[in-house]
Chain A
């Protein structure tokens, strides 16, 4: 029903565009000069069609359920029911009206379900009537108003401005929303687990929280030594460090090669090939690490007499590094290419060789941008989940041995939130606290990276 109405409104929009433009042509044919191109008259009318429709639709969506509920419950309001009972009754009758109710059907519920249905259908048809009449009224008003000297260009431009602004606002508000959802749960978590224990505790064992019987009262002391985040923070940075050890040298050198040494032809093929690496889904990297690299390292280690875990930090970090190579290589290639040719010429004209020019002139000039690309790579490494979950194990060992398994913030969030969870439980909230800390770390990294990159841009543009 809503879909048909929506289609109809869109059609109305096109029609008003057509009429607006037609009126503009008519005015033009009387040798009067228009204030804008005829299209603007059309867009102007189409906007007058869209705005009332949008306003009424959103108001309806906000208020209809509340009003229907009030009307149904008003029948029972003076009969001494509790609010909770009324709510339950309302939900039951709603379910019955949809045919999804399975409990015992009382006459009460049946009556209110019937009322619900009739109210809904009244609401629907009145919505159609109101929306359509509002559109027709507003379009007719606007149609009458437009004349040779009415201003249509400015409102259309303003409308576009508003639409684009709303789009970017939506993106920003989503971020804010995510942060808030993290904040409240995190605060709840720290009400039970002291911040000090979380930040400085060296024992992470959330499984201990699983065994609590939900009927037991919440006893903070039983969580001591359960949510100490040091091992997983250490694991996160350790794996990210291993990844960067792989990604920075290879990425940077291939970036320099592409920017300075490769011929146009090689570059044309090599660059997209390297960028393919960035397009591989992380889950594929994950099983590559878990099923190929991990066992290979284990065998290699065993043959050398080393004890290597099949799920080692080295395997996860190494594969993660390969995943990050294209970011660093591609970004540093761009940065190096954007160093002005005049600097290269200046250096060559002094008799410098290619490698001297790169080392002494190009690299220092591109350094801020390269640092920026590395920091972006680090923030990806810290936030990477799938590879770690699959290849590095889930036990939070506090270790600096790359051959042992270790775990990261992201992997632990996955562990905690897989399967059944109870809201309001410290175990679930721990995931939010971890998410919050991860968010803060990557946020700082991104801010620093963007600052550095921006500073670099100012220098040459």
Chain B
């Protein structure tokens, strides 16, 4: 089933066009990887999906992005509700300088999702468990989140993102600042999370894309060159550029 449908998306930074005519369908409860060389626009596309480009003054987005058949670029779209449904995990772990508990309860608090302290405790516990962090931190929930290791911080950010039970999770190179062990933990987690969430991950690591994703899109110079099942893209791509990138001949 198709969760997100992008139709002819163009993105401009001032006068410079960063994305050209992107049309891409994203399957529900699967992992879609976006790959491509640096500056090819894959992160820009990811940020279109929860309207994070609004934060950048000079950035403008054209075209339709349908999530559950609703165009999020429409004026009637409520960005607060949209971002509640579409969570995001960033390249560098960015926990708030607050306690672990406050980090995870941040989303539920601003969306008024818990009626009592007990409910909030439950949300925090479930989110941390789903992010595979609960066992490590359950005794120090009231210590600052910035005191964790890099990998733990990133899992905390994932817990923060899933605390509001989003339908989609966007991950912008979530492992690029982590060591191999932490990376493996996160990848395992992604596999687990796709049961309940649709995941789109931007990655620089071809191996990672091959390991975690079911679908892959290859971006180059602001264009979506090719997309399809990960198997096909990696074993038998239609486009020569894709072939060259996958085999490491450029990028």
Name A residues whose Cβ lies closer than 8 Å to a Cβ of B.
Answer: 263-264, 340, 342-353, 356, 360-361, 364-365, 459
Q: Which of B93-101, B181-189, B197-205, B207-215 contacts A (4 or more CB under 8 A)?
A: B93-101
With A264-B57, A342-B90 in contact, is A351–B84 under 8 Å at CB?
yes
List residues of chain B with CB under 8 Å of any chain A CB: 50, 52, 55, 57, 79-84, 87-88, 90, 92, 94-98, 106-107, 110-111, 146, 157, 160-161, 164
Which chain B residues border A361 with CB–CB below 8 Å?
96
When chains A and B are docked, how far (Å) is the Cα of A348 from the Cα of B55?
9
Distance, CA A360 to CA B157, complexed state (A): 16
Contact A345–B164 (Cβ < 8 Å): no
A sample of 25 inter-chain contacts (CB < 8 A) reads A263-B57, A264-B57, A342-B94, A343-B94, A345-B94, A346-B94, A346-B95, A346-B157, A346-B160, A347-B96, A348-B52, A349-B52, A349-B87, A349-B161, A350-B84, A350-B106, A350-B160, A350-B164, A351-B82, A351-B84, A351-B164, A352-B106, A360-B96, A361-B96, A364-B98
Q: Are A340 and B94 in contact (CB under 8 A)?
A: yes
B residues in contact with A365, CB < 8 Å? 96-97
Cα–Cα distance between A346 and B153 once the two chains are bound (Å): 13
Which residues of the other chain, B, contact A348 by a CB distance below 8 angstroms? 52, 55, 83
**For B82, what are the chain A residues with a Cβ–Cβ distance below 8 Å?**
351
Are A349 and B88 touching (Cβ within 8 A)?
A: yes
Nearest CB of chain A from residue B127's CB, rounded to whole Å:
12
Q: What separation, in Å, do the CA atoms of A264 and B94 have in the docked complex?
A: 25
Contacting pair A350 B92 (CB below 8 A): no
Task: Provide the residues of chain A in CB contact with B157, threshold 8 Å.
Answer: 346
From B80, B97, B111, contact of A459 by CB (8 A): B97
Chain B contacts for A350, CB-based, 8 A: 83-84, 87, 106-107, 110, 160-161, 164
Q: Which residues of B contact A347 (CB under 8 A)?
A: 96, 106
- Nearest CB to that of A340 among chain B residues? B94
Task: Give A62 Cβ to nearest chain B Cβ, in Å.
Answer: 57
A346 and B107: CB pair below 8 A?
no
Task: Give bound CA distance, A351 to B84, whole Å.
Answer: 5
CB-CB < 8 A to A356: which residues of B?
Answer: 110
Complex-state Cα separation, A365 to B95, whole angstroms: 11
Inter-chain contact total with CB atoms closer than 8 Å:
67
Q: Which residue of A lies closest to B103 (CB)?
A: A346
Complex Cα distance, B107 from A360, in Å, reads 11
7 further A-B contacts with Cβ under 8 Å, apart from A342-B90, A351-B80, A352-B80, are A345-B88, A345-B90, A346-B157, A349-B52, A349-B87, A350-B110, A459-B146
Min Cβ gap A439→B in Å is 35
Q: Cβ of A459: which chain B residues have Cβ within 8 Å of it?
A: 97, 146
Contact between A360 and B110 (Cβ–Cβ < 8 Å)?
Answer: yes
Given contacts A263-B57, A347-B106, contact A364 B111 (CB under 8 A): no
Q: How far is the CB of A367 from chain B (nearest CB, A)?
A: 10
A351 x B92 contact (CB < 8 A) = no
A344, B55: Cα distance in complex, Å: 9
| Distance, CA A263 to CA B58, complexed state (A) | 11
**What residue of chain A has the Cβ atom nearest to residue B79's Cβ?**
A351
Q: Could you tell me the distance in whole angstroms from the C-beta of A37 to the nearest C-beta in chain B? A: 41
Q: How far is the CA of A347 from the CA of B88 in the complex (A)?
A: 10
With a cutoff of 8 Å between Cβ atoms, the chain B residues found around residue A345 in the complex are 52, 55, 88, 90, 94
How distant is the Cα of A361 from the Cα of B160 in the complex, in angstroms? Answer: 14
Contacts of B87 in A (CB 8 A): 349-350
Please report the C-alpha to C-alpha distance between residue A343 and residue B153 in the assembled complex, in whole angstroms. 13
Q: Report A-chain residues with C-beta under 8 Å of the C-beta of B97.
A: 343, 364-365, 459
CB distance from B106 to the nearest CB of A (A): 6
Q: How far is the CA of A349 from the CA of B111 in the complex (A)?
A: 13
Q: How far apart sit A360 and B111, CA to CA, in the bound complex (Å)? A: 13
Specify which chain A residues have a CB less than 8 angstroms from the CB of B57 in the assembled complex: 263-264
| For the complex of A and B, 3 pairs with smallest distance between CB atoms | A351-B83, A349-B88, A342-B94
A264 to B111, CA, bound (A): 31
In contact, A360 and B52 (Cβ under 8 angstroms) = no
In the assembled complex, which residues on chain B have CB atoms less than 8 Å from the CB atom of A343? 94, 96-97
| Given contacts A345-B52, A349-B87, A353-B80, A360 and B94 within 8 Å (CB-CB) | no
Q: Which residue of A lies closest to B144 (CB)?
A: A459
**Cβ of A349: which chain B residues have Cβ within 8 Å of it?**
50, 52, 83, 87-88, 90, 161
The distance from the CB of A78 to the nearest CB of chain B, in whole angstroms, is: 81
Q: How far is the CA of A108 from the CA of B90 in the complex (A)?
A: 93
With CB as the reference atom, state the residue of chain B lying closest to A357.
Answer: B110
| A364 contacts across to B, CB distance below 8 A | 97-98
Whole-angstrom CA separation of A353 from B79 in the bound complex: 9
